[in-house]
Amino acid sequence: MRSFGKNILFLSLFSIAGILTFSQENYSTKNKKAIKLFEEAKQHYNLRDTEKAKQALLEAIEKDTLFVEAHTMLGYVYGDLNQIEKAIEEIKKALEINPTLLPGNHYTLAQFQSGAGNYKDAKLNFDRFLKLSAGNSEMKKAAEMGIVNCDFAIYAIEHPVPFSPVNAGEGLNSKYDEYFPSITADEQMFLFTRRLPADNTQMGFQEDFYVSNRGADGKWGSAYGIGPKINSPSNEGAPCLSPDGEILFFVACEGDFGYGAGRQGFGSCDIFYSYKNGNDWTKPQNLGAPVCTKWWETQPSFSSDGKTLYFVRGSMNAQGKKETDICMTTLKPGGKWTAPVKLGKNINTSGSEESVFIHPDNQTLYFSSDGHPGMGGLDIFMSRRQPNGEWGQAINLGYPINTFSDENSLLVTRDGKIAYFASDRKGGMGGLDIYSFDLYEAVQPGKTIYVKGKVFDAITKVPLESDIDVVDLQTSNSILKAVSNKKGDFLICLPINKNYAFNASKTGYLFYSENYSLVEKKDYQPIVVSIPLSPITNDIPVVLRNVFFDTNKFNLKDESKSELNKLLEFLTKNPTLKIELSGHTDNVGDKKSNQVLSENRAKSVSEYLSTNGIIKERLIYKGYGDTKPVVENDSDEHRQMNRRTEFKVVIK
């Protein structure tokens, strides 16, 4: 699996610097013509004219075949030209002539060999370099890391993981390059970048976003441009959809071929966002400070919690070296983003971290890095969130998912079974194509389901934009906030093995309460719901589905607090309302005992509300025992439905 836009550059900056600063008196040759040609090659090389540098070096070597520096620099030039076997050949020649003149050649040869997948030979040369060199400590650390990578790669190749990529088909792919995939949680919408030839940009190509929808046959339909609100005469890159497909994040960069379309930036590359608006999108807005800076912010990934954005920030360190790290920021009430923080040392290293993807389970992170032990270059890793909220140890996805080339931009579907990536492997439709493969179980994310629904006015049936709030009942923490769109539609993802309180609310309406118990759920089929919200009026009962009591008890369980706090919020926003709280039981047991129990349960709810600021005059509580069943008491499931706590407005 190879990354898109790959540019294999294996230069040892330390060694090349040494060669470029040699004086003529110290060269390994005394042939003046060879030296003159070598000096010309240095000038061409400094101007990045590799073809002229190569020609001058070949002529210099003709003058003196034992010219160590010329063979060495020619190796670097071949490395720039991505002719790795020729690069290896030239560095080997230099070492055969004199293995100690330029100790860095052992390091450079090891880099080339590692980059070509010759890990055993690379390890030998990293080791030789360390034994010979007393030089740059940073280079030594890189060589030591090279040995670690070689050991990992040798083991990984001997223990391959399952990997059988399949071209995603002509709906997504074309003769042009397709890359940076993104998909909605219900797997009905696929978004990606297509690179087209263009004469109207400084770079000679045009990057735009394309969309494909899944057909009834399960295949991806013909891709189409996302539209002029997003696609501009400038380039757009690294798109990311929210799990429900309602928000788009992407990157634009400054310059004549950069921001464009009237988009304002802070410098280098910035993250922009846009909302779905029917079949169109709103005008993109810059995410702004403190997320966007004078440096470059790119490759966003938006969490299913609806409030956390992961992205890559690049900058220059004190030594002038480019650094890229994965950061996160959280959306605060009011629409502002928190100051980004870098993820911990289990994710970020002194190397480069890129292509972050947070899975809809909100517990599994996939990313690329060259700083963790791997196959060399960028490998794809995954990390799981720990109980304390920190990210766990990075796990390499293994060979042949990872190879000696750079791997990045992995996308994993909501069910965790399928992964997508871009590759220019043989047999494609042209350039980079999007491929899929079955992701082996050990590196799959946590199991999730999605809840898909529509919110509407219970009387007029008009769709409603409403607030969606999901609470983890064990911790009472809100784990997800969302908003249904103008059509009333919403889609949220919920990891299994937890119990959730679900609420939908809108100003002027009674709120809706539901409970999703997923602790023992065995299937992962989506939940589809219709949610009628009733305008605030008298005598319409609302079942508080997340108010819990032990059997035959009336003490509120801790899991009830999130629901009761929602009721507190509702009463606070509507200070003129007076409500009746009612308790109900099934028909099992003594009727009188059931009536007393139901009244005590309603009283417990009333006391909780009054203790937390609602005056008692606004609260009435009653127990109805088993006299008002909502269904027949003919099964355990139905009896459970009849055991409930409700409220209704009695004075508006």
Quickly count: other Cβ atoms within 10 Å of residue 155's Cβ.
13
d(CA 645, CA 547): 7
Can you give the pLDDT at residue 363? 95
| Residue 405, token pair as written in the block | 């080339």
145: left (phi over 0), alpha (psi -120 to 50) or beta: alpha
Can you give the pLDDT at residue 621? 97
Which of 397, 375, 380 is closest to 442 using CA atoms? 397
What DSSP string runs through 27-78? SS---HHHHHHHHHHHHHHHTT-HHHHHHHHHHHHHH-TT-HHHHHHHHHHH
d(CA 513, CA 636): 21
The second-level CATH assignment, the architecture, of 13-158 is Alpha Horseshoe (1.25)
The CATH number for 539-652, chosen from 3.30.572.10, 3.30.470.10, 3.30.1330.60, 3.40.50.720, is 3.30.1330.60
What DSSP string runs through 622-639? EE-TTSS-SS-S-SHHHH
Judge whether 189 and 242 are in contact, CB under 8 Å. no
Can you give the pLDDT at residue 14? 45
d(CA 169, CA 180): 16
In 3-state terms, what secondary structure has residue 529? strand
CATH tag, 447-535: 2.60.40.10
Domain boundaries of the chain, sorted by first residue: 13-158, 166-349+410-440, 447-535, 539-652
In 3-state terms, what secondary structure has residue 240? strand
Cα 512 to the center of its chain, rounded Å? 31
Quickly tell me which residue has 């992701």 as its tokens: 439
Average pLDDT per consecutive 10 residues, the chain (652 residues; last block may be shorter)? 36 50 75 95 92 96 97 94 95 96 93 94 96 78 94 97 95 94 95 85 79 95 94 88 95 64 75 92 93 92 95 77 90 91 95 95 95 92 94 97 88 96 87 94 95 96 96 91 93 92 96 91 86 96 96 94 96 97 95 96 97 96 96 94 96 82
Bond before 400 cis per omega within 30 degrees: yes
Can you give the pLDDT at residue 521? 76
d(CA 285, CA 271): 9
Judge whether 237 and 210 are in contact, CB under 8 Å. no
Can you give the pLDDT at residue 317? 66
d(CA 346, CA 390): 9
d(CA 5, CA 455): 44
